[in-house]
C-alpha cells in the first residue's frame, strides 16, 4: 500500500473555486471509479495551496484507476477542460509516500 500526496497551486483568487470543484465534482467522480481519497486540504499560510491524498493498494491498482479516471470521456470532455482556469498545472508536485508503522493512516 502507498499514498499519493498531491500539491497544487491555484491561480490568483481561484482557490475557493478550486476547492468547490474538487469537493463537488472531481472527488465524487474519482470515488465513483474506485479511488480512495483520504483528505483534501488548503494551506493556512499560503492562499494558493491545495493538497489532497489518495491511497492505492498496489501499482497495478493505481494504473487501473488512473485509466478509469483519466481516460474516461467524462474526464476528457467535462472535468479536465475546466482545470486550467483554476490551477497552475506546471506547479503540481506529486509525492508517493508510505505510512510508517505507527501512522494512524493505513
Of the candidates 4, 58, 1, the residue with the CA atom closest to the CA atom of residue 30: 4
For residue 12, which phi and psi values (nearest 5 degrees)?
A: -50, 120
Q: Which DSSP state fits 43? A: -
Return all residues near 46 (Cβ < 8 A) that are at least 6 apart: none
The three grid cell numbers given for residue 82, joined into one nine-digit string? 475546466
Q: Find cell 491555484 and name the residue.
A: 10
**Domains of the chain, CATH where assigned:** 1-56+89-98 (3.30.70.100)
The three grid cell numbers given for residue 46, joined into one nine-digit string? 499560503
Kindly give the confidence (pLDDT) of every residue in the chain, 106 residues in length, as a single tens digit, with 9 standing for 90 and above.
999 999 999 999 999 999 999 999 999 999 999 999 999 999 999 999 999 999 999 999 999 999 999 999 999 999 999 999 999 999 999 999 999 999 998 7
Amino acid at each position: 500500500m502507498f499514498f499519493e500526496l498531491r500539491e497544487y497551486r491555484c491561480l490568483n483568487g481561484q482557490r475557493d473555486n478550486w476547492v468547490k470543484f474538487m469537493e463537488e465534482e472531481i472527488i465524487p467522480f474519482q470515488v465513483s471509479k474506485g479511488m480512495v481519497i483520504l483528505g483534501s486540504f488548503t494551506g493556512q499560510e499560503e492562499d494558493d495551496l491545495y493538497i489532497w491524498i489518495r491511497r492505492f493498494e498496489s501499482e497495478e491498482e493505481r494504473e487501473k484507476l488512473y485509466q478509469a479516471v483519466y481516460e474516461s470521456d467524462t474526464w476528457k470532455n467535462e472535468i479536465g477542460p475546466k482545470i486550467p482556469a483554476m490551477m497552475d498545472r506546471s506547479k503540481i508536485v506529486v509525492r508517493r509516500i508510505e505510512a510508517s508503522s505507527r501512522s494512524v493512516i493505513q
